[in-house]
Amino acid sequence: MTTHPTTGLTGPAPATTVSVKPLVLSAPHRGEDLHVRVTAPTTGTNLPVVLFAHGFGSDLDGYAPLVEHWAAGGFTVVQTTHLDSKRLALPADDPRRPQMWRHRVQDMRRILDALPTLEAGVPGLKGRVDHGRIVAAGHSFGGQTAGILVGLRVTDPDTGTAEDLSDARVMASIQLATAGKGGDELTPFAHDNLPWLRDQDFSHITAPGLVVAGDKDDLPLTTRGPVWTTDPYTLSHGNKSLLTVHGGEHFLGGISGYQAAETTDENPARVALVQQATLAYLRHITGIDSTDWRSAREALAGSHPLGRLETK
């Protein structure tokens, strides 16, 4: 057990990890093969799975500060490159663009279907993954993807219907800096360019979840300000927790990558807070050990300089 000198939060001693990419899955329905990255500890058995969805424009190489920390803490972390990635550079008139939100969910289902194949593709990993303990996680657009897998309903801009696209294989979620409800709270830009945000219904989410929101995350997508990204917590049901990161903007201090140019609030202490709180939650919700989560709840219940943690 280790204690971080800045956050004061505790966590397990980090394990050595291995990362393998690309593991390629055929996906004819999306027009591009699915390239997957798997990161896991080199030791241990019954490793739970974190299915991670990147933010708009990113790819399977992003979010190393989180992915490496979770894997070193005892998890098999699976990432892919979604169709909105800058790496794929879809033309503006590509017919898949209005349905990118749906393709993301289909990507995740394809990965879940192929977990045995992916596991076998990583040297030394076969037989060490627990397929019965899967948590969906994501940042920004990826947070919506993770939310859909546990019950978030998005009104399809083409059909006007809101289907249940949840997956019973996913037991919980972590949503980082994720969009809130749509309607008249969207800016004209968001309404016109991100149609999958126009109408979101969080009321069907009952699975356990952790929401992480920066109190300075003032996105140009909503008229409500930073509180908008707390909607996945306040509007959903069941056992939920909310970590509010003090001073955190959209990238929460730099979770999308080491020295990433897109980070506007670079702050290693904030990143450490998100790393440790999310790992403590993962270990708690998958039944590994709740000690660090209990300690985090106590430490972040009051006047901690980096953030506040609340539950319902």
Mean pLDDT of 9-37: 95
User: Cβ of 97: how many Cβ atoms within 10 Å?
Assistant: 15
Sign, CA torsion 262/226/70/268: positive
Enclosing domain of residue 145: 2-311
User: Counting Cβ atoms within 10 Å, is residue 161 exposed (0-12), middle (13-18) or buried (19+)?
Assistant: exposed
Look at the chain and report how many structural domains it folds into: 1
The two tokens of residue 157 are 């801009």
Q: Given a cut of 90, is residue 39 above it in pLDDT? A: yes
User: Counting Cβ atoms within 10 Å, is residue 162 exposed (0-12), middle (13-18) or buried (19+)?
Assistant: middle
**Predicted pLDDT of residue 174:** 98
The pLDDT confidence band at residue 187, using thresholds 50, 70 and 90, is very high
- Give residue-wise pLDDT tens across range 67-85: 999 999 999 999 999 999 9
**Predicted pLDDT of residue 107:** 98
Peptide bond into 188 cis (omega under 30): no
**Predicted pLDDT of residue 227:** 97
Q: Which domain CATH number covers 124?
A: 3.40.50.1820
Q: Given a cut of 90, is residue 4 above it in pLDDT? A: no
Q: What is the model's pTM? A: 0.97
- Give residue-wise pLDDT tens across range 213-264: 999 999 999 999 999 999 999 999 999 999 999 999 999 999 999 877 788 8
Among 3, 1, 50, smallest CA distance to 278 is for: 50
**Predicted pLDDT of residue 190:** 95
**Predicted pLDDT of residue 258:** 85
- Give residue-wise pLDDT tens across range 270-300: 999 999 999 999 999 999 999 999 999 999 9
As a whole number, the mean pLDDT across the chain is 96
- Give residue-wise pLDDT tens across range 133-159: 999 999 999 999 999 999 999 999 889
The two tokens of residue 8 are 């004061």
Distance CA 297, CA 280 (A): 10
Mean pLDDT of 39-53: 98
